[in-house]
Structure 1
Amino acid sequence: MSAHTYRTVDVAVPGGDLHVGVWDPVAPQTAQVLLVHGVTSSHLAWPFVVEELPGIRAIAPDLRGRGRSNEVAGPAGLAAHADDLAAVLDDLGIESIPVVGHSMGAFVSVVFAHRHPSRVESLLLIDGGLPLDVPAGMDADAVADYVLGPTAARLSMRFGSIDDYLEFWRPHPAFAHAWSPELESYFAYDLVEDGSGMLRPATSYATMVDDTVDMNTGSALPEALADLQHPAALITVPRGLQNEEPGLYAPEYLEGVLAVYPSIKHTRLDDLNHYTIVMSEPGAAVVGEAVRALVAHEHPVG
């Protein structure tokens, strides 16, 4: 039996309604946490982690341009997503909350803490949130391709059915040994009609490019990191989006970045990749422990 009941709410933001998943604990609520997903993901990236949070209310939006928020109009970028998170807290009557971000969600979380400091109690950044090692001088599409590779290309693909999409994902190197019913639900949710009888991934390619460029060349992230005032911890993994080594942050590169931001406490895990750190039972067990420590105002990683 699940430790939570699940519901969704729609929150008005500039350009439309943001779709938000809420997991209310069955046991008496002891805390709550805001969960922010990655660049082509949705709020359904989080059920594995939520299962590790008995007594904790979990709130997770589909960011604009993704999931069932894919029709929210207007520009994206880290600042826009950060302001949307503030609107979610306003709608739910929450003054401040610990924030957990995965991948792009970690970058959004850092900027959220900068733009709305009174709304954030602390930060847990999961394989994201610090500058990536991206060569200078690339145009927008090249940056997206360099950072995301086949993940970006997938957004232009079309599928005849949910089963076709599942078969596309099943042999993916990141999930080949971690397939689960929860993943099937996550991928099925990702599809929307394309207007011609086919299905497409919900994430807008244009929005994804805008966000990826802003993460890597915009001013919002460096300004937020330079002014970081909240307790922050970072978890990284040794394998990336294709289960490849060294992942998003090569150890020698990350060492140099962390030296610039010594207040961020870092833990590097073994045997997980960029996806399975949150979308598998082994990864969620580690993240869940860190989140429980975060909401208890303890050091969230060992």
Structure 2
Amino acid sequence: MTAHPEYEEIEVPVRGGALTALRWPAADPDAPVVVALHGITANALSWAAVARQLAGRVTLIAPDLRGRAGSAHLPGPYGIGAHTDDIAALAEALGPDRVVLAGHSMGAFVAALAAVRHPDRFGPLLLVDGGIGFPAPTHLTPDELMTAVIGPAMDRLSMTFPDRAAYRAFWQAHPAFADAWSDEVDAYIQRDLTGEEPELRSTCRIEAIRTDGVGLFDEEVLSAVRKLPADAVLLWAARGLMDEEQGLYDEGRLTAAGLGGTRVEPVAVKDVNHYTVLTGDRGAREIADRLVAFARA
């Protein structure tokens, strides 16, 4: 049986209250620190497989971003810029050393903007299937943009579930997890629930998700990867959000994004989708090894 590393919850003062984060400590108390940011409707436990693959080589700290899970109580205003302020406060609380920053999906956009806004706080950057955007179609309304960004995920936020087993079944039916379910995935999705049976619901605050999603098309956010103060690697998943053959990125899309002349090195991860690049063993191992290399550089 695979051992799952223990973590502790910590809190960091930020605007409006305290940001909750999970901390997986390294075996060596003096080991480097990595801060890892989750996707738009996810939470800190999405990084559990990476923590296991790290095997105590670095300290991993993953916050619940404002408006989700343990940080759902934090008030607006929301947005990508608000997350960068929270992450800068987290880094400040960790001490004077610069930390390695990683982000998955929306978290990659937050990480890139945080690195640009706070170059003294963050070193190398690992972007996981996110962080490289495309200009928004000008004919779409904000709500239409949201549908284009995360589609069915918005529907889930307004749903209720009679018990935790029903929520588990909802996610087990998702094509991305059809052959990739694990105890870690189960713990991650269960962390998203709040309320009492028979009306359990997602902790994600809809206004936070909507604001953050529209903010992904902001020019400052889109241009952040072109202004990075340190080297970055983009690990992109070969398959998409619904495990379809077309992923968010491919060679053509990355060429069109014009990464030449930037500090970003794109690296494909085969046989994973947008979710399992983070939660599955293959993707988590690739992420962990990259983070250790960055942290030790």
TM-score calculated relative to the size of structure 1: 0.92
Give the equivalent residue in structure 2 for 1:287: 287
Alignment CA distance shift 1:38-1:191 (3 Å): same
Alignment CA distance shift 1:183-1:191 (3 Å): same
Query: 1:169-224 CA distances to partner (integer Å, 9 max, x unpaired)?
Result: 11210001001111111111110117x951111111211111111112x1321342
Stretches of structure 1 that go unaligned for 5 or more consecutive residues are 298-302
Alignment CA distance shift 1:182-1:222 (3 Å): closer
Give the equivalent residue in structure 1 for 2:253: 253
Alignment CA distance shift 1:3-1:44 (3 Å): closer
1:4 Cα deviation from its structure 2 partner: 4.6
1:149 and 1:267 map into 2 onto residues whose CA distance is: 26
Give the equivalent residue in structure 2 for 1:238: 238
Describe how 1:47-196 pairs up with structure 2 within 5 A.
47-53=48-54, 54-132=56-134, 134-193=136-195
Give the equivalent residue in structure 1 for 2:9: 8
1:259 Cα deviation from its structure 2 partner: 3.5
1:261 Cα deviation from its structure 2 partner: 5.0
2:135 and 2:164 map into 1 onto residues whose CA distance is: 35
Whether 1:39 and 2:40 are equivalent positions in the alignment is yes
Stretches of structure 2 that go unaligned for 5 or more consecutive residues are none
Secondary structure, counterpart of 1:118 in structure 2: coil
Runs of 4+ in 1 over 4 A off after TM superposition: 1-4
TM-score calculated relative to the size of structure 2: 0.93
Alignment CA distance shift 1:58-1:189 (3 Å): same
1:296 Cα deviation from its structure 2 partner: 2.0
Residue type of the alignment partner of 2:278: V
Q: Percent same amino acid at aligned positions?
A: 36
1:291 Cα deviation from its structure 2 partner: 1.2
1:156 and 1:61 map into 2 onto residues whose CA distance is: 23
1:237 and 1:133 map into 2 onto residues whose CA distance is: 21
1:141 and 1:63 map into 2 onto residues whose CA distance is: 22
1:92 and 1:215 map into 2 onto residues whose CA distance is: 27
Count of residues in correspondence between the two structures: 295
Give the equivalent residue in structure 2 for 1:300: none
Q: Alpha carbon RMSD of aligned pairs, Å?
A: 1.9
